Chain A
Amino acid sequence: MIGYLVKRLSLAILVLLLVMILLVLLIQFIPGDPARTILGNHATPELMAQVRRNLGLDDSVPQQVLTFVGDALRGDLGQDYISGQPVTSEIGTALANTALLSLASIVLALIVGIPMGLIAAVRKGGIIDRCIRAFSVLLLSMPPYVVALLLLLWFAVDNHLLPALGAGNLADPGDYLAHLLLPALALAVFWWAYLARLVRGSLLEVLGQPYVRTARAYGLSKQTTLYRVALKNALVPITALTGLLLGYVLTGTVYTEVIFNRPGIGSLAVSAVGNRDWPIVRAIVLIYAAAFILGNLLADLAYQFLDPRLRLDNRTEAFL
């Protein structure tokens, strides 16, 4: 276990490092002068020189990598050359909004999706089971921005039931949560259908196992067997999906923040791409990648921890 931990952790750090190197190198591969690409054809030579200096393009490539990685480790992600502010201060509150949105949608996905799967499996052929089967293809076929647009239409444009624009006031939790609900829902709906199907299938598989029958034969009640024995085992393979869920949610934040006009790093990145504001884009892409790497690391470790069988052949797993 310790060996696996060290190996997996060092792989994550290596990949994060490579992500940073890639982000520095990316600008080198672009044909033409990056400063000209960013500023357009009418830039003055002074401005171009300033951008080049700002991005560290006058240094050698290894020097640029060292500067970027070193600065990032100290929490400095460079300077926005449009406003002249440090990137971290521009991202600050936006990052909090996006993190809360991601967290809220993951929680919403899990607390609805797993019970749905549980009920569907226990009441196989019942209403919930049939509803899920009927609607799941529809729900699974909707891209996150489509769900967000439909929610916006139903709840905000037609009925004005929920606030649809902005992130609300963080000092007023009620207001903030009301603003959070629709965007979080937009990212969770897909996972309700997905998790419900997965948990149902996984649970039905576990319920057919001999050890579940044994537990019942030993006199454990139906409830105890279901929750303490079957559900626990059925959820283990679901852990491996955490990374997947995270990837979906992180990508989804970009769309939902734009659609619900939330100030977050996703919507900030979109406007920064439009402005060709590379320092901001680079920093946000790095944050997304780091969150994704960290999430996958935690998911892998949890899976490894929860399923002892995997510990045996982790030598091959670690590198695949």
Chain B
Amino acid sequence: MAVIKPSVARDLPAGPGAQSRVRELLSKLSSRPSAAISTAVILALILLALLAPVIAPYDPTHIDVYTRLSAPSVQHWLGTDSLGRDNLSRTIYGSRVALEIALPAVFGAFVVGAVLGMLAGYLRGWLDRVLVVVFDTLISFPAVILGLALLTLLGPSVGSVIFVIGIALVPYYGRLVRAQTLAQREVGYAKTERALGASRRRVLGRHLFPNVVPELLTVVAMDVPGAIVDEAGLAFLGLGVQPPTSDWGVMLGDGFTNIAASPWGVVGPILALIVLTAAFLVLGESLRDTLDPGRQGKRRGLLSRLRRNHR
């Protein structure tokens, strides 16, 4: 009996097609009004960030001390801050900073976590054990607390804030991908491939990766608002993005300092943070209900998301 050559293995189809599942999911989602509204809100916020120079009524750094700390008026819909800068324009520009930090932090963390998690789950052995303990150690720090330690040593800059938020997420993604890989590893097609003599790289790249990663990406996208909340929080404490950047946290800090004189400084960023988080929350719940309608999707979904955001 001839030995089956790896070239035969190459002709085996990859796991269940991801594309058809995405299409099915989208058609189911579009029939839910809450999903449609929340998606529209998120897209509007992204547009706001992209088109900030066109939409914002003023230059967010334009200082006008004669109108400092003013209440909302026809000229300044959300009032002005302690240097007379337009709060609305600063809030609009703030969405740029928020996305500039949150997107690389979350997706960078996912790339690192996915690679480590897949290696741990697929190779097992000592590497797996070491990585699990490293993940456990990093998870023992609530994200912002770890941020305090790292920012003392790194100093505040956009790069260090991205790093600080990202590194707190890596262990969650690492664990998630590891668990998925462990499960997929034993599924028939992966076993067959191994039996047919496919290399580790091939099994990981051609079969495990396409089956493990795309579904997790929706989960990961739901962490973007959490990252923005952390970013704004660190900036509010004066440890993240620094003034005079038009950042929601920086604005909250300035508004808080002058809160007795004018409460209007904090309104813009507060509304922005709430609307953004709410939109992602509602979209996440619709997604989960669509994905597994039978299984009390709401509860589980919320739980797993909070786990990542608030630790």
CB of A97 within 8 Å of the partner chain: no
Q: How many angstroms between the C-alpha atoms of A241 and B310 in the bound complex? A: 12
| Pair B281/A141 contact, Cβ less than 8 Å | yes
Q: How many angstroms between the C-alpha atoms of A11 and B140 in the bound complex? A: 12
CB of B266 within 8 Å of the partner chain: yes
Report chain A residues within 8 Å CB of B273: 141-143, 146
CB of B93 within 8 Å of the partner chain: no
Q: How many angstroms between the C-alpha atoms of A274 and B238 in the bound complex? A: 8
| Pair A254/B277 contact, Cβ less than 8 Å | no
CB of B307 within 8 Å of the partner chain: yes
User: Which residues of chain B from 114 to 141 have a CB within 8 Å of any chain A CB?
Assistant: 132-134, 136-137, 140-141
Q: How far is the CB of A256 from chain B (nearest CB, A)?
A: 12
Task: Closest A residue to B277 by CB, please name it.
Answer: A141
CB of A81 within 8 Å of the partner chain: no
Q: How many angstroms between the C-alpha atoms of A255 and B149 in the bound complex? A: 16
Report chain B residues within 8 Å CB of A14: 133
Q: How many angstroms between the C-alpha atoms of A11 and B152 in the bound complex? A: 29
Q: How many angstroms between the C-alpha atoms of A248 and B256 in the bound complex? A: 22
| Pair B137/A15 contact, Cβ less than 8 Å | yes
A285-B141 contact given A146-B273, A201-B296, CB 8 Å threshold: yes
CB of B143 within 8 Å of the partner chain: yes
Report chain B residues within 8 Å CB of A4: none
Q: How many angstroms between the C-alpha atoms of A276 and B148 in the bound complex? A: 10
Contacting residue for A251 out of B144, B302, B303, CB 8 A: B144
| Pair A244/B274 contact, Cβ less than 8 Å | no
CB of B142 within 8 Å of the partner chain: yes
User: Which residues of chain B from 271 to 311 have a CB within 8 Å of any chain A CB?
Assistant: 273-275, 277-278, 281-282, 296, 298-299, 302-303, 306-307, 310-311
CB of B243 within 8 Å of the partner chain: no
User: Which residues of chain A from 142 to 163 have a CB within 8 Å of any chain B CB?
Assistant: 142-143, 145-146, 149-150, 152-153, 157
CB of A198 within 8 Å of the partner chain: yes
A285-B146 contact given A140-B281, A255-B237, CB 8 Å threshold: yes
Report chain B residues within 8 Å CB of A138: 274, 278
| Pair A285/B148 contact, Cβ less than 8 Å | yes
Q: How far is the CB of B54 from chain A (nearest CB, A)?
A: 28
Q: How many angstroms between the C-alpha atoms of A241 and B300 in the bound complex? A: 12
Q: How far is the CB of B206 from chain A (nearest CB, A)?
A: 27
Q: Number of residue pairs across A and B with beta carbons under 8 Å?
A: 150
Report chain A residues within 8 Å CB of B236: 145, 255
Q: How far is the CB of A144 from chain B (nearest CB, A)?
A: 8
| Pair B144/A30 contact, Cβ less than 8 Å | no
Q: How many angstroms between the C-alpha atoms of A251 and B229 in the bound complex? A: 12
Report chain B residues within 8 Å CB of A145: 233, 236, 252
Q: How far is the CB of B268 from chain A (nearest CB, A)?
A: 12
| Pair A250/B152 contact, Cβ less than 8 Å | no
| Pair B145/A30 contact, Cβ less than 8 Å | no
| Pair A247/B311 contact, Cβ less than 8 Å | yes
Contacting residue for A141 out of B233, B278, B298, CB 8 A: B278
A30-B148 contact given A138-B278, A149-B256, A255-B237, CB 8 Å threshold: no
Q: How many angstroms between the C-alpha atoms of A145 and B95 in the bound complex? A: 18
Contacting residue for A288 out of B142, B154, B274, B299, CB 8 A: B142
CB of A320 within 8 Å of the partner chain: yes
Report chain B residues within 8 Å CB of A320: 175, 179
Report chain B residues within 8 Å CB of A244: 303, 306-307, 310-311
Q: How many angstroms between the C-alpha atoms of A157 and B237 in the bound complex? A: 20
Task: Closest A residue to B149 by CB, please name it.
Answer: A285
Report chain B residues within 8 Å CB of A289: 140-141, 145
| Pair A273/B239 contact, Cβ less than 8 Å | yes
| Pair B274/A142 contact, Cβ less than 8 Å | yes
| Pair A143/B232 contact, Cβ less than 8 Å | yes
Contacting residue for A254 out of B154, B237, B259, CB 8 A: B237
Q: How many angstroms between the C-alpha atoms of A244 and B252 in the bound complex? A: 26
User: Which residues of chain A from 224 to 265 have a CB within 8 Å of any chain B CB?
Assistant: 241, 243-244, 247-248, 250-251, 254-255, 258-259
Q: How far is the CB of A221 from chain B (nearest CB, A)?
A: 28
| Pair B274/A273 contact, Cβ less than 8 Å | no
Q: How far is the CB of A208 from chain B (nearest CB, A)?
A: 11
Report chain B residues within 8 Å CB of A23: 149
Q: Which among A248, A254, A282 has the highest number of chain B CB atoms within 10 Å?
A: A254
CB of A166 within 8 Å of the partner chain: no
| Pair A198/B299 contact, Cβ less than 8 Å | yes
Q: How far is the CB of A217 from chain B (nearest CB, A)?
A: 26
Q: How many angstroms between the C-alpha atoms of A185 and B146 in the bound complex? A: 25
Q: How many angstroms between the C-alpha atoms of A19 and B310 in the bound complex? A: 19
Report chain A residues within 8 Å CB of B256: 149, 259
Identify 29 residue pairs between A and B in the complex whose beta-carbon atoms are under 8 Å apart, listed by A's number.
A11-B136, A15-B137, A26-B153, A30-B154, A141-B274, A143-B273, A157-B259, A198-B302, A201-B296, A201-B298, A201-B299, A244-B307, A244-B310, A250-B142, A251-B142, A251-B143, A255-B237, A259-B256, A269-B145, A270-B148, A273-B239, A281-B148, A281-B152, A284-B148, A285-B146, A285-B148, A292-B141, A320-B175, A320-B179
Apart from A34-B153, A146-B273: 8 A-B pairs, beta carbons within 8 A:
A18-B133, A18-B134, A19-B141, A37-B153, A142-B274, A146-B274, A194-B302, A319-B132
